[in-house]
Amino acid sequence: MRETVSHREARLLLHNKFVVVLGDSIQRSVYKDLVMLLQKDSCLTLKQLKNKGEMSFELDSLVEGGCLGQMNNGTEYREVRQYQSDHHLVRFYFVTRIFSRYMQSIMEDFRRGLKPDVLIVNSCIWDISRYNPNWTADYKENLKRFFDELKMVLPEESLVIWNLTMPLGKRIKGGFLVPEIVHKVPQLRYDVIEANFYGWTLADAYEMDVLDLHFQFRFSLQHRTTDGIHWNAIAHRRITALLLQHIAQAWGVTLAAEDGHQTAAADDAYREILTDSLSFQENPEPLAENFRPAVRSRWPRPQRKQRHNPYEQPRYGFDYMRPPYSEPYEDHRHEFVMRTRHGRPHYAPYTHRRPAHPPFHGYY
């Protein structure tokens, strides 16, 4: 899959579409990067990633909450943002719990107003840390209520993408981490993995699409910021590319700009950002914990004793044979990266239709 998509491709794919993003501060950055890409081939700055509740970001507007109300780190904090152009509408709701009285008011917005063509949603870290020490039963029940409500409110054509929560660091700090829950920090990254399992299982049971960002970024921890929770602009542009490619596949279209130079320029800009490590905060631990290189080629090769049995299989540690866990990546071997339940045809006048092929219900 491509690392990025161009501004022109994003605009054409989402032409006359209504996109809603629901979730916490990471989802807010997902919204911001999408708004940025719909206007130009640029990535977010560190200041734009850190800001919250501002009156305007890249021609969007603050609809509710944020600096219009009381800025705080409580569970009652609200922020609703919206970007609107002649042919695009993108909205963001900040939520701290997957199902609550506030979420019911959001559903009422969908019931009475415009139905989203794409709903990108995640809620996890606040749910499992701020409300109940024994969060498992509450979280599963709230997930069920949320998906039930979605089924009743949204039409079948709406594409719902459940994002799995990205990996947390060993040491974390953030606005949601009030003193009362600091003792949960050592266990929280493992709780996220468990909560991701529940979210994926229920989303799949309700025939929602799933994007496993935890899997996608498990070896990209150098792009996680020093607070152990948030991610830099490079990671967020990659998330946007994954989302747009997933949407394109669900709608049965191919991402292709009319001018190939536009895509090449976007790829060049992305590579330039990748080489500039001074623009963003970086995690001092660039590799995943417990990560071992597949082939230890820098080690001196020890002398092997002569084997008496000519049919004896060589040992991995000394013969530098490729161990099983370093086999080449094959799509069918990783079933839970991104799952598409079924196609949802949409009118996309400026994209290229894929050639006819048998129905595909597999995995990326």
Per-residue model confidence as pLDDT tens digits over 19-59: 999 999 999 999 999 999 999 999 999 999 999 999 999 99
DSSP string, 163-197: EPPPPPPSS---TT--GGGGGGHHHHHHHHHHHHH
Q: How far apart are the first and last CA of the chain?
A: 9
Q: What does residue 81 show for φ and ψ, rounded to 5 degrees?
A: -120, 155
Per-residue model confidence as pLDDT tens digits over 137-179: 999 999 999 999 999 999 999 999 999 999 999 989 877 788 7
pLDDT at 347: 53
Taking the CB of residue 75, how many other CB atoms lie within 10 A of it? 15
Contact 104, 98 (CB under 8 A): no
Centroid of chain to Cα 214: 8
Separation between Cα atoms, residue 96 and residue 118, nearest integer Å: 20
241: enclosing H helix or E strand? helix 233-251
Structural fold of domain 7-274+330-353: Rossmann fold (3.40.50)
Question: How large a percentage of the chain has pLDDT more than 70?
Answer: 70
298: DSSP letter: T
**Residue 167 CB-half CA count within 13 A:** 20
Sign of torsion, CA 196 198 203 204?
A: positive
Contact 14, 83 (CB under 8 A): no
pLDDT at 19: 98
Contact 320, 293 (CB under 8 A): no
pLDDT at 281: 40
Nearest to 237 by CA among 22, 48, 33, 9: 33
pLDDT at 183: 86
For the CA atoms of the chain, what is the radius of gyration? 22
What stretches in the chain show pLDDT beneath 70? 1, 256-364
Would you report the helix, strand and coil content of the chain in percent, each value rounded to 5?
A: 40, 15, 50
**Residue 228: exposure state from Cβ atoms within 10 A (0-12, 13-18, ≥19):** buried
pTM, two decimal places: 0.76
Contact 131, 174 (CB under 8 A): no
- Domain spans of the chain, in order of start: 7-274+330-353
| Angle subtended at Cα 78 by Cα 81 and Cα 201, rounded to the nearest 5 degrees | 90
| Angle subtended at Cα 44 by Cα 103 and Cα 250, rounded to the nearest 5 degrees | 55
